[in-house]
Amino acid sequence: MNKFREGGWHILLLLICLVLLLPVVFMISNSFKTLQDSYHSMLQIIPLHPTFSNYTTLGRQIDLLRLIWNTFFMAAIVTLGKLITGLFAAYAFKYFSFKGKKWIYLIFVSTIFVPFTVIMIPNYLVISKINLLNTAPGVALPQMCDATGIMLFLKAMDKIPKSLIESLKIDGISSHMILKDIIIPILRPSIISIGAIFFINSWNEYVWPTLILKDKSSFTLPLALQNYISSEGGTNFPLAMALSTIMIIVPLFIYLIFQRYILNSISNSGLK
């Protein structure tokens, strides 16, 4: 009886898997179809007449390498910036004692979910005033304003015995050395997975690029893809799907390698 019921639940769960993944499968498959095939045999997963033509058309219409580089460069700045600031701040919160610690931490962490509309106008004005519109640093800076790293690193530091750090401090070893030679090597898996999450989020970021990047040569992949989607209909879907397929390779690849660590860090972000 119980076995029977468990089977029923599995059917539901497998259906959810299909609903979540089939769109992506069709996207990849249709990106290798001609426009005509994508209409007449849209549900055919293996293309009847596989073709690279959508990819070559994209290559002629837009500067793919430049788009990929822009996106990568922006995401790399954001990731490095957030990792470095987050590690230092987490270290201070974990191993230094100072006045008002709890309050400062509370303020830092509360900023995580501040809606972007509350800060977008002043940030746009600042970025334009310091002449960083249409640049990677200009679109990266507002994204670095995120204290998630502190929260995740603090959680990761829980597994390092506090007594170890205390005894190193008593032996007169400097905080820089402890951070460089003890904390960072021990936290390597966490740093990689947190970095991977930051990178993927920034790779997909839409809001700040829309506001800061107006010049086509500074576009990132999500903005380029948006240009292929027409709200009045008439989107060339195989073309848009080819660009999307290019876009998802990087996050998918990162997930394939670091899947276990990434899921662990995501879990930690919700734990107390």
Partner 1 sequence: MNSSGSKNKFLTIAYLSPTAVILLVFMVIPILYTLYLSFFDWNLISPTKNFVGLENYTSIFTDSVNRKVLLNTIVYILLLLILNFIIPYFISLIVKFFINKMKNSYKIIFFIPSLFSLVVGAMLFSWIMNPISGPVAFLMRHFGVALPNWTNSSAMAIVMLCLITNWKVFGYNFVLLLTGLGSIPQNIIDATKIDSIPRWKMVRDIVLPLNKSIAFYVLILTIVQGLQYVFTPISVITQGGPYYGSSNIFYHTYLNAFVLYKTGNASALAVITFLVFLILLYLEMKFVEGRMGNCE
Kindly identify the residues of this chain, within the stretch 62-121, that bind partner 1 according to CB under 8 A.
Answer: 81, 84-86, 88-89, 91-94, 96, 98, 101-102, 104-106, 108-111, 113-121
- Shortest separation between residue 47's beta carbon and partner 1, angstroms: 15
Q: CB of 109: closest distance to partner 1 in angstroms? A: 6
CA distances to 94, 157, 178, 249 from 182, rounded to whole Å, are 14, 11, 5, 34
Per rule CB under 8 A, is residue 272 in the interface with partner 1?
yes
What does the alpha-carbon distance between residue 151 and residue 268 come to, in Å, rounded to a whole number? 9
Query: Per CB under 8 A, does 170 bind partner 1?
Result: no
Burial 204-238 (b: 16+ CB within 10 A, else e): bbeebbebbbeeeebbbbbbbbeebeeeeeeeebb
**Residue 182 in the binding site for partner 1 (CB under 8 A):** no
Site string for partner 1, 123-162 (x = CB under 8 A): xxxx--------------xx-xx-x--xx--xx--x----
The token pair that represents 154 in the structure block: 């603090």
Q: Residues 79, 198: contact at Cβ < 8 Å? A: yes
Amino acid identity at 120: M
Based on CB atoms, which residue is closest to partner 1, 50 or 122? 122
| Per CB under 8 A, 167 contacts partner 1 | no
Q: Determine, following the binding rule CB under 8 A, whether residue 10 of this chain makes contact with partner 1.
A: yes
- According to the binding rule CB under 8 A, does residue 204 interact with partner 1? yes
| Residues numbered 233-252 forming contacts with partner 1, rule: CB under 8 A | 233, 235, 237, 240-241, 244, 247-248, 251-252
Q: How many CA atoms lie within 13 A of 12 on its CB side?
A: 5
Among 139, 187, 211, 213, binds partner 1 (CB under 8 A): 211
Cα–Cα dist 62/223, whole Å: 12
Q: Using CB under 8 A, which residues numbered 17 to 56 contact partner 1? A: 17, 20-21, 23-24, 26-27, 39, 42-43
- Rounded-to-integer distance, Cα 251 and Cα 196, Å: 9
